[in-house]
Amino acid sequence: MKRIVSGIKPTGELTLGNYLGAMKRWAEMENENIESFYFIANLHAITVRQDPFQLRKRTFDIVAWLITCGVNPEKSLIFIQSMIPAHTEICWVLTNYVTIGELGKMTQFKDKVSKSSREGQVAGLFEYPVLMAGDVLLYDADEVPVGDDQMQHLELTRNIAARFNNLYGQTFKEPKGTVSKITARIMSLKNPESKMSKSETEDSYIALEDKPEDIIKKFKRAVTDSENQIRFDSESKPAISNLLNIYSAFSEKSIDEIVSDYKNEGYGKFKTDLGELVASKLDILQKRFKEIREDEEFLLKTIKRGNSGASEIADKKVSEVYEKIGLVYHRF
Ligand code: ATP
Ligand code: MG
């Protein structure tokens, strides 16, 4: 059985991109003979200053949303990164098996730095690929589903693993990165060249908790391409192609079917229908979410189960690593 590990940062409202590209997909994968570990990446969230109340609230929101989207906590482990000390422990160790040069080459870091000054950045932003390497290596993951922006970090993870294995004997599995399918990549409603992201401006994404009227409004205002014809062409018509992808995902109709349904229609009608479709589907999910979110006992039980499953594996890995490098390890 293949093991995959993946995380979501509680940095903002969950979006349609998170739902279609990750959470919905994760629920489907439970039928594919895959062992899955999903964590709320709250240690990653703090590389950007967060409001403490919101950070804590969103951490629990995401647990509830995962279950709402169909992830079964009896099949997959759902856990909270900060509650498993092994993540921070392994991170510090691995920090000493990576060079400043290697981290400085990470394009995500370079992009951030080029926008403002290097000196003013928090060191966590520079180091977070090491935390990420630890997240994955702790669990001997076979695969990590990542966006192409994360591929370089995964390569670094493999390099760190290989380096450690070379020095101390086989310790870490070198994980493979799998880039999610093109159809699962949802783009921003304001700029179809960049992906929909919860840390961008509000009108560029649909939040899973948006009100129906806001969803409809946002789709109406979504940018479109120049000609007023609905067809799929992600090169020359990225905006409409993105909307077609979303339509298809929510209607379970193929893109061809939708294109033929709207053969004689303009963008206006298409966008209104899409907004209504998504609003009605999200309304169902929102009701389910509310019930789950309010059942505190169930949520805590879920987290406890996930945390204990994860820490059992992660603690073993940390103790093996400590042993190998000569650090004293003991859990009282
Ligand atoms: P941030 O802007 O803070 O990075 P994000 O929206 O990119 O937020 P993450 O927490 O980084 O969200 O990612 C959570 C999961 O959602 C990952 O598996 C990621 O690949 C997936 N994901 C995020 N945005 C999209 C998108 N637009 N399309 C498809 N999948 C996405
Ligand atoms: Mg992201």
**Distance of alpha carbon 89 from alpha carbon 84, whole angstroms:** 9
Beta carbons within 8 Å of 296's beta carbon, 6+ residues apart: none
Task: Examine the domain organization and report whether 146 and 238 are in the same domain.
Answer: no
Neighbours of 268 (CB within 10 A): 11
- pTM of the full predicted structure? 0.94
Give the number of the ligand closest to the Cα of residue 39: 1
Residues spanned by the domain of 67: 2-178+296-325
Task: Examine the domain organization and report whether 26 and 127 are in the same domain.
Answer: yes
* Atom 22 of ligand 1, nearest CA residue: 18
Task: Examine the domain organization and report whether 58 and 136 are in the same domain.
Answer: yes
Count the helix, strand and coil residues of the chain and give each as a percent rounded to the nearest 5: 60, 10, 35
Task: Examine the domain organization and report whether 34 and 136 are in the same domain.
Answer: yes
Residues designated as active site: 112, 195, 198
Question: 10-residue block means of pLDDT along the chain (332 residues)?
Answer: 94 94 90 93 96 98 98 96 98 98 93 81 95 98 86 96 98 88 78 90 96 97 91 93 95 95 94 98 98 97 98 97 93 66
Which atom of ligand 1 is closest in space to residue 200's alpha carbon? 2
Q: Give the count of domains, the chain.
A: 2
Neighbours of 71 (CB within 10 A): 23
CATH number of 49's domain: 3.40.50.620
Task: Examine the domain organization and report whether 35 and 159 are in the same domain.
Answer: yes
Beta carbons within 8 Å of 252's beta carbon, 6+ residues apart: none
Task: Examine the domain organization and report whether 127 and 252 are in the same domain.
Answer: no
DSSP line for 132-154: HHHHHHTTT-SEEEE-GGGHHHH
Which mutation among 14, 18, 28, 242 tests ligand 1's pocket best, with the greatest number of atoms within 8 A of CB? 18
272 C-alpha vs ligand 1 centroid, how far in Å?
Answer: 26
CATH number of 244's domain: 1.10.240.10
192: in domain: no
147: in domain: yes
pLDDT at 180: 64
pLDDT at 186: 92
Task: Examine the domain organization and report whether 250 and 142 are in the same domain.
Answer: no
